[in-house]
Structure 1
Amino acid sequence: MKFVVIGLSVTSSWGNGHATTYRALLKELAALGHDILFLEKDVPWYSGHRDMPNPEFCKLGLYKTNEELKTQYQEAVANADIVIVGSYVQQGVEVGNWAIETARGATAFYDIDTLSDSGET
Structure 2
Amino acid sequence: MEWHPTRSTTDANVVRLAKEYTTPLQTYNKIPYNAMKLNPSGIKTPVSFSFLEESSDNAVLGTLKKAEKAEGFVLRFFNPTEGEVQSRFTFNPSVDQVQEVNLNEKALAPLKVENNQ
**Normalization by structure 2: what TM-score?**
0.26
Structure ranking higher in helix proportion = 1
For the pair shown, the structure with the greater C-alpha radius of gyration is 2
**Normalization by structure 1: what TM-score?**
0.25
Q: Which has the higher contact order (CA 8 A, sep 6+)?
A: 1
